[in-house]
């Protein structure tokens, strides 16, 4: 029997319906159009919040876009394919490829655990669009994208706004905080948009070799029974094969992708612990596996990313990456040449939580050299705004630099000698002298 050894999830109250106590459920696009027009008639620039990452309800969003001439579009990690035109103001706390180069981007800095609070403080939504599974016993699920959506739904309900759903046969039904009665929504349409999948082009040549080395270093630090935060990308992908030797691993992570199946097939996951996440992205095989899988619990962001909850997980191991790390063990994971590239995400939440967890550790893993820019990723002092700082360890293909609990001089020495590319170590030692670290 499944038990949650580390976290008991409270049952959230069912959000209220409208003031008249009635919930309409139109299915025709003209009915939805009328609802949207009525809601936005007196609003100069309404805010539309929608599921993001791999779960944008494109058909429903296109309907809203055809009705509302000017609005703010709030999406986390928006992919390409979202409306891009005059009158649509892209807004987010984590920039995806669909918004990254927009000249009108409204970036709102916030740790991911804090984003849900913004909907009731400063970013008040007028319409919330969700992407759901087909109904099962009268309920639908937010499937692969729970994330900040429950908070947005509660905030828009308090303001008397609309909650509209796109029901998709291909969306898996997942258990947790994303389950709603179908008649809860003000309206819905049926549309089987293809759920986005993360780019899965594996690295080759030197990139593959360096990723494998970094992955092995990361995996060597994990013990059976630990709890993992898994991200997406080359380094997490390279780490997971080395974890298949372990047993009773737990999962407490903001997101996961196909590589989790590697641990499942190897029998490395603890069968008596819930696998906790907030959103996911992956192949049809992954979506089939998670569909009605009682071991998986998809919880809201403010629960999953809460540093206090992260700190309760045994052997909590967070593995994050960065664009740069400096000699003070500070990391820049969000900006390039002062322009926002992504955002804080959950990195700071999980680093802080992991450092406070029993037997926990926060790993910062990256290549020592950026091949495209042809520069070192280990720098004397980060000139960009800092995303996070003070992990347990910095890992590159050059080695493992222990920084947790060391003096700042010992940190700098470890980073230069064990993590920096050999071609820049002499220069880094010179800069360390200027910074008082040598």
Summarised one tens digit per residue, pLDDT across range 253-284 is: 999 999 899 999 999 999 999 999 999 999 99
Q: What pLDDT does residue 199 have? A: 65
Q: Above 60 in pLDDT, residue 409?
A: yes
Phi, psi of 14 (to 5 degrees): -70, 125
Q: Above 90 in pLDDT, residue 4?
A: no
Q: Which residue is associated with the tokens 């000139």?
A: 383
- pLDDT tens for each residue of 367-381: 999 888 899 999 999
Cα–Cα dist 333/347, whole Å: 9
Can you say how many angstroms the Cα of residue 18 is from the centroid of all Cα atoms in its chain?
31
Q: What pLDDT does residue 31 have? A: 86
What is the band of 6 on the pLDDT scale with cuts at 50, 70, 90? very low
Q: Above 50 in pLDDT, residue 384?
A: yes
- pLDDT tens for each residue of 204-245: 888 889 999 999 999 999 999 999 998 778 888 899 999 999
- pLDDT tens for each residue of 142-196: 999 999 999 999 999 999 999 999 999 999 999 999 999 999 999 999 999 989 8
Q: What pLDDT does residue 198 have? A: 74
Q: Above 50 in pLDDT, residue 1?
A: no
The tokens for 395 are: 């890992």
Residue 254 known to be catalytic: yes
Per cent of the chain over pLDDT 70 is 93
Q: Above 50 in pLDDT, residue 325?
A: yes
Q: Above 80 in pLDDT, residue 25?
A: no
What's the rounded mean pLDDT across residues 339-354?
94
Taking CA atoms, 114 is separated from 282, 300, 301, 380, in Å, by 26, 12, 9, 31
Cα–Cα dist 277/301, whole Å: 9
The tokens for 203 are: 């690295």
Cα–Cα dist 15/12, whole Å: 9
Neighbours of 170 (CB within 10 A): 14
Q: What pLDDT does residue 432 have? A: 98
Q: What pLDDT does residue 27 have? A: 55
Domains and CATH numbers, the chain: 29-190 (3.40.1080.10), 205-434 (3.40.1080.20)
Question: 313 or 205: which carries more pLDDT confidence?
Answer: 313
Q: What pLDDT does residue 371 have? A: 82
Burial pattern 114-123, b for ≥16 Cβ within 10 A else e, equals bbbebbbeeb
What's the rounded mean pLDDT across residues 97-124?
97
Q: What is the mean pLDDT of the chain?
A: 91
Q: Above 50 in pLDDT, residue 429?
A: yes
Per cent of the chain over pLDDT 90 is 84
CA-derived radius of gyration, the chain: 22
Q: What pLDDT does residue 283 have? A: 93
Which one is catalytic: 254, 302, 384, 397? 254
């Amino acid at each position: 029997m499944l038990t949650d050894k580390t976290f008991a999830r409270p049952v959230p109250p069912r959000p209220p319906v409208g003031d008249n106590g009635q919930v309409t459920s139109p299915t025709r696009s003209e009915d939805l159009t009328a609802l949207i027009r009525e809601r936005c008639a007196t609003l100069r620039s309404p805010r539309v919040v929608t599921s993001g990452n791999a779960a944008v309800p494109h058909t429903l969003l296109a309907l809203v876009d055809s009705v509302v001439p000017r609005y703010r579009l709030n999406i986390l990690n928006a992919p390409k394919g979202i409306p891009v035109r005059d009158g649509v103001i892209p807004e987010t706390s984590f920039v995806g490829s669909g918004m990254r180069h927009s000249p009108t981007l409204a970036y709102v800095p916030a740790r991911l655990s804090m984003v849900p609070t913004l909907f009731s403080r400063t970013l008040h939504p007028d319409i919330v669009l969700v992407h759901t599974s087909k109904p099962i016993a009268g309920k639908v699920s937010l499937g692969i994208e729970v994330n900040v959506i429950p908070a947005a739904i509660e905030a828009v309900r308090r303001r008397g706004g609309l909650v509209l759903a796109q029901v998709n046969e291909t969306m898996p039904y997942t258990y947790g905080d994303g389950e709603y009665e179908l008649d809860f929504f003000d309206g819905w349409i049926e549309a089987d948009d293809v759920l986005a999948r993360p780019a899965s082009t594996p690295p080759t040549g030197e990139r593959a070799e360096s990723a494998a080395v970094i992955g092995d270093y990361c995996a060597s630090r994990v013990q059976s029974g630990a709890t993992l935060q898994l991200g997406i990308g080359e380094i997490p992908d390279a780490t997971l094969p080395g974890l298949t030797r372990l047993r009773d691993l737990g999962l407490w992570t903001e997101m996961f992708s196909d590589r989790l199946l590697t641990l499942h097939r190897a029998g490395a996951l603890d069968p008596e612990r819930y696998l906790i996440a907030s959103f996911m992205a992956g192949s049809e095989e992954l979506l089939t596996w998670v569909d009605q899988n009682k071991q998986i619990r998809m919880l809201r962001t403010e629960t999953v990313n809460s540093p206090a909850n992260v700190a309760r997980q045994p052997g909590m191991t967070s593995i994050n990456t960065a664009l740069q790390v400096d000699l003070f063990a500070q990391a820049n994971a969000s900006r390039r040449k002062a322009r926002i590239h992504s955002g804080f995400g959950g990195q700071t939440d999980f680093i802080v939580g992991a450092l406070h967890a029993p037997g926990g550790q926060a790993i910062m893993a990256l290549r020592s050299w950026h091949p495209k820019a042809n520069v070192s990723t280990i720098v004397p002092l980060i000139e960009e705004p800092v995303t996070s700082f003070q992990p347990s360890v910095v890992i590159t293909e050059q080695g493992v630099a222990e920084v947790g609990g060391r003096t700042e001089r010992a940190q700098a020495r470890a980073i230069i000698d064990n993590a920096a590319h050999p071609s820049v170590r002499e220069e880094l030692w010179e800069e360390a002298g200027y910074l008082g670290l040598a």
